Chains A and B, each alone.
Chain A
Amino acid sequence: MLRTDRIVGGLAILVAVFFIWRTTLIEIPFISDPLGPKTFPVIICVVLALAGLGIMLKPDAEPHWPKASGFIEVGIGIVVFIAYAELLPVLGFIIATCIAGGILAWRLGAPPVQAAIAGIGIALGIYAVFHLALGLTLAVGPLGF
């Protein structure tokens, strides 16, 4: 029977092998200490591979995966966050945060109007506390905030 943990263990071994290969590509400079920059990463990879092997051999019970809707919600969250990170320097802090905060509140179950108000409230609240009161630099947009 294929269990999630067997895949996890297998992936850990693959990652370990991949990084051991990457380690062999490191060029050792002319002057180096006896151990050099390669040994410790290799030790780590061996530990990682052993852990992966252990997990493959003795997998835990299946995790509680969410239903499809749960994955979709997380997916929406990831998209919102990435868009927020990319648009922050373009739109400026307040506009970007109003939008992102509002969408998140909406996805967590707030009705659309309340969610929009929450987004604006969060943006203005953080702006007031962290920028106006504490002087932290926030991303500046075309409108100057």
Chain B
Amino acid sequence: MEALSSLGDGFIVALSVQNLLLAAIGCLLGTIIGALPGLGPSNGVAILIPLAFSLGLGATPALILLTSVYYGAMYGGRISSILLNIPGDEPAMMTCLDGYPMARAGRAGEALAISGIASFVGAFFATWGLVFLAPQLVDVALLFGPAEYFALFALAFATIGGVAASNQMKSLLATGFGLLIAMVGVDQQTGVTRFSFNNVHFYDGIDFLVVIVGLFALSEVFIFLEHRSGGGMDTHSVPLGRTTVTKKDLVDTTPAMARSTVVGFIAGVLPGAGASLGSFLAYTLEKKVSDKNKTFGKGDPRGVAAPEAGNNAAAGGALVPMLALGVPGSGTTAVLLSLLLALNITPGPLLFQQNPDVVWGLIAALFIANIMLLALNLPLIKLFVKVLQVPTRYLMPAVAMISFVGVYGISGSTFDLLVMIAFGVIGWLFRKLDIPLVPIILGVLLGKLMEANLRRELTISDGDWWALIDSPLAIGIWLFAVAGFVAPIVLGRFFRVKEKQPFDGETLDTD
């Protein structure tokens, strides 16, 4: 097995002292970020990327740190779901349904333990899925020409827009807006500047890291300012109980975990779906299969295990298209993609050939992070509960200041800070207007690549547009793209995850 020997090499990379330390820090930070309502995986990772970049970490260590944060946040989200009935981040929404009733019944500790184990199972097997599926996908992707890549980008936009947004037109607007931002600056092929309005700062284009931190991190601060909500979480009213799992519960929940891992992984691999859909589908399926005594929604351990296994499996699955194709499947993987691009690494099939140490080191680090998370989570649960009590009036200013430090660290430019503030305001407005932010990020990240592929194809075909749908592969991808965009409209609200967040109606549609 070639994949296994590559993975072995990856472990050699990941097991250095520095990388292990980074993984541990990432896991701890990630769990805290995930647990705190208002900070989720995508804005947590967004704040940390400029920092990792300005600290001058190498590609592999930086990726290990941030994917540990990503996996950690997936674990952390469940804590406030169970204790407070407020999801720490969007994928943890479904965990509220049975987690909170368990906590009300005095079984909070057990619910946390079961969901911790379910998170481990989901993430562990999804990482194995990544090991075997990603190289297969790479083999297919190596056949891709510019036309196929162009279609693939369209597919990513279509499915993210189709599945993630409540209004497809608004997601289309966000996509257009993001792509337009990517067009600012010098055109790589001809050297002319576009949309720079004679401002020197725009000649290099708008830095995507600045856009991401503004849209994801600062907009969150504005939401808190608007509501003047600076209180902490009252976790005193919920007794933890014992934080172990009975053998019976473990046996009972095993089939739920197995099914949910598969469902979640598939949901994660599909572009645009991500962890929220993974946990939603996992819970829905589990309820259909095993809710014989109508115990779901009243504190059934299987109702806690299913969504947690599902969202962690989806988190692993979402890394497959990001690494193998360079096309992210969710908001957070889009943010991770920006890290790769900032480090001048082009993800996609060539990454596996040119930088196998980066890919396999990262995958090995995911295994290590996952074991660390399981080890951290059960004994340190009391610490994480304490963190929830930090009032947001002290937390949010710190988040804002760290965002500034990170962006200032990249360039030392006041202009970039002002651009970040502008995007913070735009992000706040768009969230009010229910316009999703992930398509903007995707547009900013992929815009130049998408254009380059289009122009390359038309150069080859000497201007013949039909060349874009010349191969069966390209036609297939286009069909998927159209289906991904249209199907949710036709199927109506079936896929929509009903959201329950601290502030109604202005959630960050990301995971």
Contacts and interface: CB of A to CB of B under 8 A. Distances in A.
Q: For chain A, what secondary structure do more than half of its interface residues adopt (helix, strand, loop), or is it mixed?
A: helix
Given A15-B180, A130-B405, 4 more contacts: A47-B176, A89-B414, A108-B228, A108-B396
B287 interface: no
A104 B454 contact: no
Contacts of B425: 74, 78
A13 to B, nearest CB: 10
Given A22-B195, A28-B190, A122 B398 contact: yes
Interface string B52-78: 001100000000000000000000000
Contacts of B194: 22-23, 26, 37, 41
Interface string B397-417: 110111011001100101001
Nearest to A31: B190
Given A29-B190, A104-B396, A136 B172 contact: no
B392 A108 contact: yes
A35 B190 CA distance: 11
Given A64-B504, A81-B424, A126 B402 contact: yes
A22 B198 CA distance: 12
Contacts of A34: 455, 458-459, 462-463
B296 interface: no
B225 interface: yes
Interface residues of B, number: 72
B346 interface: no
Nearest 8 A-B pairs (CB), nearest first? A48-B176, A108-B230, A54-B169, A108-B393, A109-B230, A85-B417, A104-B397, A51-B172
Contacts of B231: 109
Contact of A136 (B175, B392, B409): B409
B180 A19 contact: yes
Interface of B: 51, 54-55, 166-170, 172-173, 175-177, 179-180, 183, 187, 189-192, 194-195, 218, 221-222, 224-231, 391-394, 396-398, 400-402, 404-405, 408-409, 412, 414, 417-418, 421, 424-425, 428, 432-435, 447, 450-451, 454-455, 458-459, 462-463, 504-506
Contacts of A142: none
Q: For chain B, what secondary structure do more than half of its interface residues adopt (helix, strand, loop), or is it mixed?
A: helix
Nearest to A90: B414
Interface of A: 4-5, 8, 12, 15-16, 19, 22-23, 26-29, 31-37, 40-41, 44-45, 47-48, 50-52, 54-55, 58, 60, 63-66, 69-71, 73-74, 76-78, 81-82, 84-86, 88-89, 93, 97, 100-102, 104-105, 107-110, 115, 118-119, 121-123, 125-126, 130, 134-139
B97 to A, nearest CB: 25
Contact of A88 (B54, B218, B417, B505): B417
Given A26-B194, A108-B397, A126-B401, A65 B392 contact: no
A30 B401 CA distance: 47
Contacts of B408: 88, 138-139
A60 to B, nearest CB: 6
Given A63-B434, A126-B405, A136-B55, A77 B222 contact: yes
Nearest to B503: A64
A23 to B, nearest CB: 8
A119 B397 contact: yes
Given A44-B183, A77-B222, A70 B169 contact: no
Contact of A64 (B189, B428, B463, B505): B505
Contacts of B169: 51, 54-55, 58
B489 to A, nearest CB: 11
Residue from A54, A77, A93 with most neighbouring chain B CB atoms (10 Å) = A77
Contact of B432 (A12, A64, A78): A64
A66 B433 contact: no
B433 A74 contact: no
A31 B451 CA distance: 18
A67 B201 CA distance: 36
Nearest to A89: B414
A74 B226 contact: yes
21 contacts: A8-B173, A16-B176, A27-B192, A35-B455, A35-B459, A37-B194, A48-B173, A51-B175, A55-B170, A63-B505, A64-B505, A74-B225, A81-B424, A85-B404, A85-B418, A105-B230, A108-B396, A109-B393, A110-B391, A110-B393, A118-B397
Nearest to B450: A40
A70 B408 CA distance: 28
Nearest to B462: A34
Contacts of B412: 137, 139
Given A55-B173, A88-B404, A105-B394, A110 B230 contact: yes
A97 to B, nearest CB: 5
A101 B459 contact: no
